[in-house]
Amino acid sequence: MKDSAILITYDKEDAVKEAVALCDAANYDIRKIIRQKFLNKSRYGLGEGKVEELKEMAQAIKPDVIIYDEILKPSQNYNLASALKIKILDRETLILEIFERRARSSESILQVKLAQLRYEMSRAKEKVRLAKMGEQPGFMGIGKFEVDVYHNDIKHRMNSIKIKLSKSSRQRELHRQARKRIGFKTISLAGYTSAGKTTLFNFLTGETREESPKLFTTLSTTTRKIILKDAEVLISDTVGFISKLPAYMIEAFKSTLEELVHTDIVIVVIDISEPVFELKKKFRSCVITLDEIGVSKDRIIFALNKSDIVSQDVILEKVEQIGLKDSNKWLSISAITGKNMDNLKNLIHDALENKPQPEKTDYTQPQIEINYED
């Protein structure tokens, strides 16, 4: 059973779509969406009138959580939670929950834990201040802690995770995971949130209605077996790239992408209906990140999705602008109408057949920093 949620986000179509896709990735069932021109009004993150409205709405809907698609200060979170008597998740907590759900290897679990502690650390001071003011006794269970004790405790936990990480066995686990899949070629869907990965996944898996074999359910809840031109292949939906990702989450994010390293083909799903500026930025960040984690270029296919709402001329123009013009590894598709799906399958099939030997990549090398923030 999914937990239910009321989602508060911006009054912009793209923001709503992204927020909905994030809630979906975290497995929340959205019962209601509140759109706001501005988020982060001082006391509650919302205007007081809106809070009253939300109170009534929450009484009727009784959601398990309220998801607030922005960062909330501890005081705002506390005020809103007290007013509504419901757990509040801000955008960063939501993203961390998604990573937590997706983390599989011990390294990935540690990376996510580390990011969660960083989140806590950045809020520790204010939490302690709130607790000390006596206004919020026992707030978040830290009322009895002194600021230094609390800080040191988080620091201590972070350090012990860092030590474990330095000894972790990512390579070994990845190989073990790869061995489990032996006998099957694998395809993974990557790309930004709301590009249409899940829609494409459902289209491709819905066609054959092949049940996931028991063996693979332990690998991932989002991996299924499909028939691709008479061959059985495994296809996985992945966590996806997230725009406005805070810098401290980047390692945790990358660790959730590790399954891509041993996938035969990565389909990067791109929302071609987005403005060129966004498109370029996202395209670049996908390509760089995949390269960093060790996915070689010849294993990537670009699926330019949502072509049902963009004219062919515009698509070609955008293809040129993102620098894909001379590549034969892209295709415009529509996961909704099914446009070009047979061609996509052919392209995947051919890529699987001609799959070159995996390149040797040293994953232990430090990686170049890139800025994922907008």
Ligand X SMILES: Nc1nc2c(ncn2[C@@H]2O[C@H](COP(=O)(O)OP(=O)(O)O)[C@@H](O)[C@H]2O)c(=O)[nH]1
Instruction: Select from 5-13, 86-94, 192-200, 276-284 the region that touches ligand X (CB under 6 A).
Output: 192-200
309 binds ligand X (CB under 6 A): yes
> Would you give the binding string for ligand X spanning residues 204-223, x where CB under 6 A is met?
--------------------
Give the residue from 82, 73, 164, 159 showing the smallest Cα distance to 119.
73
With beta carbons less than 8 A apart as the criterion, state whether 341 and 333 touch.
yes
* Closer to Mg ion by Cβ: residue 170 or 197: 197
Rounded to a whole number of angstroms, the minimum distance from the CB of residue 137 to ligand X is 41
Binding residues among 23-52 for ligand X as defined by CB under 6 A:
24
User: Which of 116, 168, 186, 198 touches Mg ion by CB under 5 A?
Assistant: 198
95 binds ligand X (CB under 6 A): no
Amino acid (one-letter) located at 93? T
194 binds ligand X (CB under 6 A): yes
* Closer to ligand X by Cβ: residue 22 or 287: 22
Instruction: Select from 147-155, 195-203, 206-214, 299-307 the region that touches Mg ion (CB under 5 A).
Output: 195-203
State the sign of the Cα–Cα–Cα–Cα dihedral 226, 230, 233, 236: negative
Residue 289 binding target from ligand X, Mg ion, none, CB below 5 to 8 Å by type: none
Structure token pair of residue 213: 């074999």
Amino acid (one-letter) located at 295? V
User: Which of 9, 77, 111, 198 touches ligand X by CB under 6 A?
Assistant: 198
193 binds ligand X (CB under 6 A): yes
101 binds ligand X (CB under 6 A): no
With beta carbons less than 8 A apart as the criterion, state whether 23 and 94 touch.
yes
93 binds ligand X (CB under 6 A): no
Q: Contact positions toward ligand X, by CB under 6 A?
A: 17, 21, 24, 193-199, 240, 269, 305-306, 308-309, 334-336
Q: Contact positions toward Mg ion, by CB under 5 A?
A: 197-198
